[in-house]
Chain A
């Protein structure tokens, strides 16, 4: 069976790649496109380490076929920082030690960014439930939740 040709946009960049029908978007990102920032923790949508956005909507790239990217826009962790400046969430995660081993961090950041785009003033409960699909085994989530809420406050302040 011939490979499928996919034309998509990844982190704002028009991108073409070839894939098999059964390849997940995560496979394409990691193995074909060299974007290894998205991680595979489970491959079944239970850990969130592979989180990306598809046309602005948060999804697990392990639960999406690579072929489905055709004609759509993908954002990954690699597209989050500006060349010379981290995203406020990235900066806050660093300053507040909201990561330990760091393997869940890319997915956690992509998910948190997606939350703040929809809800710039989330409650602790809203943060916790939005991030419930992003497993972290190191931190107990405390510093992550605080970092997201503090970033939200900073971004609201900056937007005033």
Chain B
């Protein structure tokens, strides 16, 4: 589409759900009530690792006010030897994460739940549940979990034929790395660690569920996919999907963390048992202890290059924490790490390691920041070693159309090199730093992006306006982008379009809000639906005029006769056609459902300036610019918002966010006080360099934008700290004690002071 001709695509429209959200009207998960509603609380494990010998709920059930108690025995059993995949999850692990079965696997692991007339009684009843444990030794860190004598979490899990905490591996190979390294003039190898970090959504998990005596079930909850909620609840409770209506509440942030269920099936069983609607709201502490952060990691990356900067080989080994059940994002780490580069010889290997932590959940480009942290850090050192500008090193090796990536694809037209070129030319990169202990770092990143299943329905109202219904929770302004596209295609005013998120009973299956897929996929089905609507409108006009539909054109929001008829009839507006709809064939509307393909990967390059207080070890970000190929910015403000939000999370990951465990195997910082996400005064303005290389496989040229912006962040900050201090720090976070310890260990810096 030509920019000049666009009236709405690319415009900064006001989001359709905006007024509700600035006035407090918007209903999030915890804002709902139902008549007769009761409250439920969860009993959680006091041990990081133990066998459950028995659970006695009789005292809890006898407490006045208690209406129902649930344990794993109330749910569908998924034996450990029979995989039941659902998307990237497996119901064997999902069921055991929701409520412990044979064992408790982390401190905070749910064991049972109680519904009562209020939260206090529910909590009191939880304390009356008697659980007999066989307490087991535990492993928290990767090295402890893969040690020779490590406590084994799952007896059925074998690696190399022996019981192991390694749940799986993944390997990507391209060319011959040994031959590649033999060619290299310079080889750099380094090992890194990163800590688990939480998605940090401000809205805690919550739901209200009502199960009628005939099992008709209504779920009101906050998630990144009402269809995921329906499917998982059906699997876990045995209620057929057709009996479950999952209504998407407004969602107060997810970032991947709300792509699985924790509460909904539990509330469903409690509602079924009690005959009352049941509400559950997690506390922040429960969120931090028992919902998925992303993996902590350890990795080693080796890169070899010729003197001219041509990279000839790259090798990476990535160990990722899965938490207590299999499923860490090794694909993101091993797959994305080298993806921005055209390297002939790559070997990338990932290990999925379980330990006694809460099960990880997706977090914005899952695994990719871990891979990028290692590779982009090594590249920076390579640039120093070669005496090359770090951006020019990246540009020299940039992947482009036709590059074969180690993780599989041969790239179509992509915009990676453009992000590096934009960074190189930017005012930011060309403005020298002036202060002492200031430094500049750069890093790039890649994310796969996703297509997948989406459904849309576009209906013309009787008064000639438009209602678009899609199936993806709007987590950051997607309604506005969909309205832009619909208004553009129909040639009508933006205000005439209303965008709704349908529940599972009112719109066709739509996969998760995740994988940076929402606008990519929903724009495709909305476009198809709208085009069908336009065909109908042309047909209605043709009928009224008594001419062939092929003689009607839709332009500027009107049907116009063409050719020989062009002067015979006045054009008809949407409003006029809608008013005559019943006489011309009935309601006007169309739906489309598709398993969308062609998402193609996204690339970004970040430039970060920091200043280090070398006496206190504090790193402050002074300036930050994010250059990203976004395909087409349908709504530039929300594209910038994705970039800025991802950057802020990357800075948090780099500087102060981390899970801290005490010696008892418990999270020691389960709240926003000591889990230190960036606050407003921690950050500068976050500049965006939006690059638009339209995705050739999408009607509007859309590429996913949401996840890539997190990927380069930690490495960009770390490389900037190196530039400021001359010290490579390989372990995140770059928190003040860690940075000061690195400074103190480095005599050359002290001499330079």
Contacts and interface: CB of A to CB of B under 8 A. Distances in A.
A43 B284 contact: yes
Contacts of B641: 97, 100, 138-139, 143
A24 interface: no
A8 interface: no
Contact of A41 (B15, B22, B202, B673): B202
Contacts of B17: 102
Contacts of A46: 671-673
A100 B199 CA distance: 15
Interface in B1-54: 12, 14-15, 17-19, 21-28, 30-31
A137 B651 CA distance: 12
A12 interface: no
Contact of A42 (B22, B199, B284): B284
Contacts of B254: 101
A76 B24 contact: yes
Interface string A131-148: 111111111111111100
Contacts of A102: 17, 21-22, 26, 250, 252
Interface string A85-121: 0100010011111011111111001000000000000
B672 A140 contact: no
Interface in B237-276: 250-255
Contact of A137 (B12, B25, B200): B200
Interface in B631-649: 635, 637-638, 640-641, 644-649
Contacts of B255: 137
Nearest to B637: A97
B203 A86 contact: no
A122 interface: no
B135 to A, nearest CB: 30
B24 A38 contact: yes
Interface stretch (B315-323, B388-396, B450-458, B681-689): B681-689
Nearest to B12: A97
Contacts of A95: 12, 14
B638 A94 contact: no
Contacts of A78: 23-24
Contacts of A73: none
B22 A109 contact: yes
A145 B683 CA distance: 11
A86 B19 contact: yes
A76 B24 CA distance: 9
B73 interface: no
A24 to B, nearest CB: 13
Contacts of A129: 680-681
Contacts of A133: 679
Q: Which of A80, A86, A102, A129 is packed against the most chain B CB atoms within 10 Å?
A: A102
Contacts of A136: 202, 680
A interface, over-half SS: loop
B15 A140 contact: no
B742 interface: no
B753 to A, nearest CB: 28
Given A94-B18, A100-B641, A143-B640, A41 B204 contact: yes
Given A81-B23, A94-B19, A102-B21, A131 B680 contact: yes
Given A40-B204, A77-B23, A109-B22, A100 B31 contact: no
Given A41-B204, A86-B19, A135 B677 contact: yes
B252 A101 contact: yes
B748 interface: no
Given A40-B30, A42-B672, A97-B637, A90 B22 contact: yes
Contacts of B475: 100-101
A96 B679 CA distance: 20
Contacts of B215: none
Interface residues of A, number: 56
Choose among B27, B637, B681, B683 the residue with the greatest number of A CB atoms under 10 Å from its CB: B681
A140 B686 contact: yes
B671 A44 contact: yes
A98 B684 CA distance: 16
B369 to A, nearest CB: 16
A36 interface: yes
A103 B222 CA distance: 12
A49 interface: yes
Q: Which residue, A38, A41, A101, has most C-beta atoms of chain B within 10 A? A: A101
Contact of B21 (A40, A44, A105): A105
A100 B30 contact: no
B557 interface: no
Nearest to B480: A97
B383 to A, nearest CB: 27
Given A41-B672, A49-B202, A97-B477, A137 B22 contact: no
A99 B21 CA distance: 8
B251 A101 contact: yes
Interface string B178-201: 000000000000000000000111
B645 A137 contact: yes
Contact of B202 (A37, A76, A135, A146): A135
A46 B252 CA distance: 16
A39 B28 contact: yes
Interface in B134-164: none
B506 interface: no
Interface centre among A77, A81, A124, A137 (most CB of B within 10 A): A137
B283 interface: yes
Contacts of B284: 41-44, 47
Contacts of A36: 24, 27-28, 30-31
B476 interface: yes
Given A132-B680, A137-B645, A140-B647, A99 B202 contact: no
A104 B14 CA distance: 18
A32 B732 CA distance: 45
A103 B22 contact: no
Contacts of B644: 139-140, 142-143
A101 B30 contact: no
Contacts of A77: 23-24
Contacts of A42: 284, 671-672
A122 B554 CA distance: 51
Contacts of B671: 42, 44, 46
Given A39-B252, A134-B680, A99 B640 contact: no
Contacts of B18: 93-94, 99
A99 B22 contact: yes
Interface in B683-732: 683, 685-686
A101 B201 contact: yes
B732 to A, nearest CB: 19
Contacts of A99: 18, 21-22
A135 B645 contact: no
Residue of B21, B22, B31, B671 with most chain A CB atoms under a 10 A cut-off: B22
A90 B23 contact: yes
Nearest to A97: B637
Nearest to B650: A140
A139 B202 CA distance: 12
Contacts of A138: 253, 476, 641, 645
Interface in A1-49: 30, 35-44, 46-47, 49
Interface in A68-83: 76-78, 80-81
Nearest to A34: B33
B680 A128 contact: yes
For the complex of A and B, the 5 pairs showing the least CB-CB separation, nearest first, are: A37-B24, A103-B252, A140-B648, A102-B21, A97-B637
Given A99-B21, A140-B678, 5 more contacts: A30-B30, A30-B31, A39-B28, A49-B202, A135-B672
Interface of A: 30, 35-44, 46-47, 49, 76-78, 80-81, 86, 90, 93-97, 99-106, 109, 124-125, 127-129, 131-146
21 contacts: A30-B30, A35-B24, A36-B27, A36-B30, A36-B31, A43-B284, A46-B672, A47-B202, A86-B19, A86-B22, A90-B22, A95-B12, A97-B638, A101-B254, A102-B22, A129-B681, A136-B202, A140-B678, A141-B678, A142-B640, A143-B640
